[in-house]
Structure 1
Amino acid sequence: MKPLAQLDQLNLDAHTKQQVTGIVQALLDQAQQAIRVQELKIQALTMELAHLRRIQFGKKNESLSSQPNLFEESVLADIAAVHAEIEQIDVTVKTNAPKSPRVRAGRQPLPDHLPRIEHRHEPESCQCGQCGNKLVKIGEDVTEQLDVEPARFFVHRHIRPQYACKSCETITAEPVPPAIIDSGMAAPGLLAWVITSKYLNHLPLYRLEQIAAREQVTLSRSTLAEWVGRIGVALQPLTEQLKWHLLQGNTLHADETPVTQLEPGNGKTQRAYLWAYRSNDLDPGPRIVVFDYQISRSGQHARNFLQNWQGHLLVDDYGGYKALFSRAALSCTELACWAHARRKFFDLHQANGSSMAFEALQRIANLYAIEKESKHLNIELRQQLRAEKSLPVLDELHDWLRQTRMQTAHGGASAKALDYALKRWPSLVRYAHTGYLPIDNNPVENSIRPIAIGKKNWLFTGSQRAGQRAANIQTLLGTAQLNGLNPGAWLNDILTKLPTWPNSRIDELLPFAPEFIQSLKLKQ
């Protein structure tokens, strides 16, 4: 359709035709300008979308990294927002260009264990709207939507009738069972919610106070703080028992992360450290993580925690651990972390696109490919696979590292990355001579990472005691998660049982999977 060409077919005088032509041309110019603006906006959004996709997938496609993106949820939300903006513009831009269909991944079925609330939507009439005949049911169209209720507060009302004997005037009533907090108004479920919200979801107590207030429930911060303190003391025996079980293993991961501690009275802060010790996933038995809060990074804290423990300890290159591996100690055998060695080359490649670093990354990737292949093997088969595949790769890698180092100038970033691997080589290759030692320290870093991220919410610990209490509770909740348990449900059950539970059976309360609890019973 050409509006200006059609004007010639109209019976208009020259002056009127000129005016109409000017108006139509102005409208066309205005429409073209609007379309151009929208096209430019689509181009900008498309470029932004490409950038976000590079952020989302760049590590997998370009940098050979297997580490998760800590901001992935923000990137995914931004991608969805850009798609939505483009779709809004497409509605107003009239174009004949065909749109390519968007590829969507199939939606995962909703879990079977969730309760279903059925809503039946029957037609307003059982008669056909066209001919008036009676309708016959031929099937059903069923769709499901996932929903959630915010924290729902309710009251347990315990009624204990009192009965009296007319003969001897004895009064009988069901006794009040012992509780974690005697005569307290909080049921175990509420206490578990407070603890998991604070230490697992990293919500400060004032936010829990606000959540309760929105439901017209008064929970003062002082009351919440009192509950937290009392529960921390009650759970202390479980933490000590978990530490005992952890030290029965012959291989441990260790790492530490800084936290800020408030110095009461003067408003200043100091740096403290949360030390983490993790069991070896390649060993049989339950998975355990134990956190230890200390006011410094001194290696003496690690020695105090481990005491007379003997075995393989997998750590980074922090000097605080060195005393554990000295000839005088004769207790721990050092395992070095391939993820840390790899990180040196990764940073170098990211900084200047070093071809040497890229080749190192590819060679190290071969080691991880072998580990992925052995993931579901038992210890004997894994040791055999490592002997056949990992050791030859390591020998070639060592020769390449030495030759490359001789050709590299001293003092630069390349030399430092090469020296890191070469100086720690005996500790780096030790895992490959067995079928039960881990290749890197990622398990303990994964356990400590949620706490490190959560620091953005709680900023600092209020005191050394508060830090120690947090470490104890994080130990229990973290171990529950490692063993596939719902931490809140587990804690609810424990807080109900603990007041009357015999100390001789404390192992049965630990956050292990049921099969591990059963094995502990058999050993007793």
Structure 2
Amino acid sequence: MPTPLPMTSADLLNELSLHRQLVASQQERIESLKQEVEQLRQHNEVLRLKVDAMARKLFGRSSEKLDPAQLQMVFEALQNGMPEDGPPKKPEASVDALCGSEADEAAKGQTARKKRSLEQILAGLPVIEIIIEPEEVKADPQAWTCMGAEVTRLIDYTPGKFSCQKINRRKYVRKEARHLPPVIAPLPSLQERCIATPRLLAHTLTQRFELHLPYYRIEQTYGRAGVPLTRQTLSNWGGMCADACGLVIQAMQREVFADGYVQIDETPVKYQDPERKGTCGTGYLWAVHNPVRKLSLFEWRTGRGTACLESLVPADFTGLIQCDGYQAYESFIRSARRQGQIRLAGCLAHARRKFFEAQAEGGDARWVLEQTQQLYRIEAKLREARAGPMEVRAVRQEHSAPILEGIHHKLQSLQQSRKHLPRSLTGAAISYTLNQWDKLSVYLRDGRVCIDNNLIENAIRPSAIGKKNWLFMGDAKSGDRAAMFYTLIGNCHREGINAEAYLTDLFTRLPTETNQTVHRLTPKAWAAEQRSLHQAQAKNCVASL
């Protein structure tokens, strides 16, 4: 066997170089694997948090109110306070003096929600008296003397009954001019051939758009009462009434944009589209709310892009739009036609909701929730005091601005430290809030502006109940009809009037109104008219006494 040749120094250097290269490649491989494992761990953590958030959303409580015990845990976890370079903490005493304690507010809420007594419930109900005599008295009435009575009051209900209204319109001719055509009173109806009275039309539409019953259920209800009306007939009545209410809706459109400040939001609604075979298209109910006049307006569009906002907002509108972070609003105000006319205000409730969903990730999200709760306590106290715009602005500058500044500094510090993953719930909430910060701060400088968009979301909420019942619109045109009646009925609720009584009077008076007088039939004007009538009747009653 040949003896191996001894290695030279050059061979040793080559061997050492190869070994170093192998070690370096292995170290690079190890670092790459570590980075991959870290990325997978982070991705797994984000997915776990999202699954937990979805489980809470599906099976947890829907209320976003904070538990006081949970807030105490936040204080203990954050006992070190803000970072050393952070701003000074807000003056606790002044805010507490303004807002009061949360326990006091809860006690006031419980006092305000006292159950009404039986006397209050029965006060306005008609009384039908039923007398029940003992069998012994019936057998020999003359032998008995009545010594009083035991009175039991029950609440009774008689289902609605249909009836036929027979209208006789007599024809007359002048005795001196019998050759002229006869005179006959006009038919007080929205349409010559409509077989429904204004009361039945109003009842049908409130069943559909206030109680959110689909037409087939209304058809079944009427059929059980002995009046077999088809759902096609009921739907046609809705279209006829919507056409008649067009001028009333136009009057409300002019009024809702009159003050230069509106809130806008949209909600998706499925609708049947002939161009989509077997599937429904997605349209949107756009809601516009004027917080100054407390007036809401619904519009139907088959999309939610910038073009929808162009058609929704009048060309001459200038002022402030409060909305969420949807990008179409930014594109809308930056368009050539709207440049410099409109400013945007943000919604703190949207930002707060993201931190509420992320509160299980740690104390930072819960700290933000506690700070925003302080802001909402200030707003609640201002509403209770019925403060005007100037007073609201002064209080916000004094008490809300330091709290908002502290939140801003905290979020910036968290983002710079990269403590939370960008794709985590807390990281996404921080990014969203900081991106919207300029809009979220607008309410500090304008006393008219609300802290959030909850008023418009409350106006939209009834339509969500309807979507669960009727599932989708019959076609795109039915969306316009639904928007009209959601507008009328929603404003009836806001004015505290009976929607069915309002629609009955509206359909009765519409045939005799003109373009110049139809503004008297909006829910706000009708409610003011009814209050004036009731006050006049009360004065007449007092005068008669």
Alignment pair present for 1:497 and 2:509: yes
Q: d(CA) in 2 for partners of 1:405 and 1:120?
A: 77
Which residue identity is paired with 1:333? R
For 1:54-73, what aligned pairs fall within 5 Å after superposition?
A: 60=65, 62=67
Which residue identity is paired with 1:419? S
Contact preservation (8 Å) 1:206, 1:221: yes
Alignment pair present for 1:363 and 2:371: yes
Q: d(CA) in 2 for partners of 1:180 and 1:492?
A: 12
Q: d(CA) in 1 for partners of 2:506 and 2:481?
A: 17
Contact preservation (8 Å) 1:274, 1:291: yes
Local SS of the residue matching 1:278: strand
Local SS of the residue matching 1:454: helix
For 1:338-349, what aligned pairs fall within 5 Å after superposition?
A: 338-349=348-359
Alignment pair present for 1:488 and 2:524: no
Q: d(CA) in 2 for partners of 1:454 and 1:499?
A: 30
Alignment pair present for 1:148 and 2:157: yes
Partner residue, 1:229:
239
Q: d(CA) in 2 for partners of 1:381 and 1:125?
A: 74
How far did residue 62 of structure 1 move? 3.1
How far did residue 220 of structure 1 move? 1.9
Runs of 4+ in 1 over 4 A off after TM superposition: 54-61, 104-107, 120-127, 132-135, 140-143, 161-174, 513-519
Partner residue, 2:125:
114
C-alpha change, 1:399 and 1:64, in structure 2 (3 Å) is: farther
Partner residue, 2:167:
158
Which residue identity is paired with 2:469? N
For 1:198-277, what aligned pairs fall within 5 Å after superposition?
A: 198-264=208-274, 266-277=277-288
Local SS of the residue matching 2:516: helix
Partner residue, 2:185:
175
Alignment pair present for 1:461 and 2:466: no
Partner residue, 1:68:
none
Q: d(CA) in 2 for partners of 1:216 and 1:175?
A: 31
Q: d(CA) in 1 for partners of 2:481 and 2:321?
A: 25
C-alpha change, 1:387 and 1:115, in structure 2 (3 Å) is: farther
Local SS of the residue matching 2:168: coil
Which residue identity is paired with 1:372? A
Deviations 1:131-185 (A, max 9, x none): x995633xx6655433433332122222345567777657966524342011322
C-alpha change, 1:302 and 1:148, in structure 2 (3 Å) is: farther
Local SS of the residue matching 2:517: helix
Local SS of the residue matching 1:273: strand
Q: d(CA) in 2 for partners of 1:188 and 1:310?
A: 39
How far did residue 433 of structure 1 move? 2.1
Contact preservation (8 Å) 1:235, 1:473: no
Q: d(CA) in 2 for partners of 1:488 and 1:515?
A: 13
Partner residue, 1:5:
none
- State which drifts further: 384-393 or 207-216: 384-393
Contact preservation (8 Å) 2:263, 2:289: yes
C-alpha change, 1:175 and 1:452, in structure 2 (3 Å) is: same
Across the aligned residues of Structure 1 and Structure 2, the Cα RMSD in angstroms comes to 3.1
How far did residue 490 of structure 1 move? 0.6
Higher relative contact order (CA 8 A, sep 6+): 2
Alignment pair present for 1:289 and 2:322: no
C-alpha change, 1:264 and 1:409, in structure 2 (3 Å) is: closer
Which residue identity is paired with 1:297? R
Contact preservation (8 Å) 1:324, 1:332: no
Which residue identity is paired with 2:67? E
C-alpha change, 1:331 and 1:125, in structure 2 (3 Å) is: farther
Deviations 1:410-457 (A, max 9, x none): 413222211222221121121122221101011111111111221122
How far did residue 473 of structure 1 move? 2.2
Identity of matched residues, %: 31
Which residue identity is paired with 1:62? D
For 1:15-164, what aligned pairs fall within 5 Å after superposition?
A: 60=65, 62=67, 106-108=115-117, 109-110=120-121, 112-121=123-132, 136-137=147-148, 142-161=151-170
Which residue identity is paired with 2:230? S
Q: d(CA) in 2 for partners of 1:120 and 1:393?
A: 67
Q: d(CA) in 1 for partners of 2:393 and 2:167?
A: 59
Contact preservation (8 Å) 2:212, 2:465: no
Local SS of the residue matching 2:189: coil
How far did residue 206 of structure 1 move? 1.8
Which residue identity is paired with 1:235? C
Q: d(CA) in 2 for partners of 1:152 and 1:64?
A: 55
Q: d(CA) in 2 for partners of 1:439 and 1:58?
A: 19
Partner residue, 1:442:
454
Which residue identity is paired with 2:280? T
C-alpha change, 1:437 and 1:111, in structure 2 (3 Å) is: farther
C-alpha change, 1:321 and 1:502, in structure 2 (3 Å) is: same
Partner residue, 2:317:
309
Partner residue, 1:186:
196
Which residue identity is paired with 1:118? E
Q: d(CA) in 2 for partners of 1:501 and 1:216?
A: 34
C-alpha change, 1:468 and 1:357, in structure 2 (3 Å) is: same
How far did residue 354 of structure 1 move? 2.0
Q: What are the ranges of 5 or more consecutive residues in structure 1 without an aligned counterpart?
A: 1-53, 66-103, 520-524
Q: How many residues align?
A: 416
Which residue identity is paired with 1:159? N
Q: d(CA) in 2 for partners of 1:200 and 1:212?
A: 17
Contact preservation (8 Å) 1:485, 1:513: no
Alignment pair present for 1:425 and 2:442: no
TM-score after normalising by structure 2? 0.69
Which residue identity is paired with 2:302? I
Q: d(CA) in 2 for partners of 1:255 and 1:273?
A: 10
Local SS of the residue matching 1:114: coil
Partner residue, 1:372:
380
Match among 371, 390, 403 for residue 400 of structure 2? 390
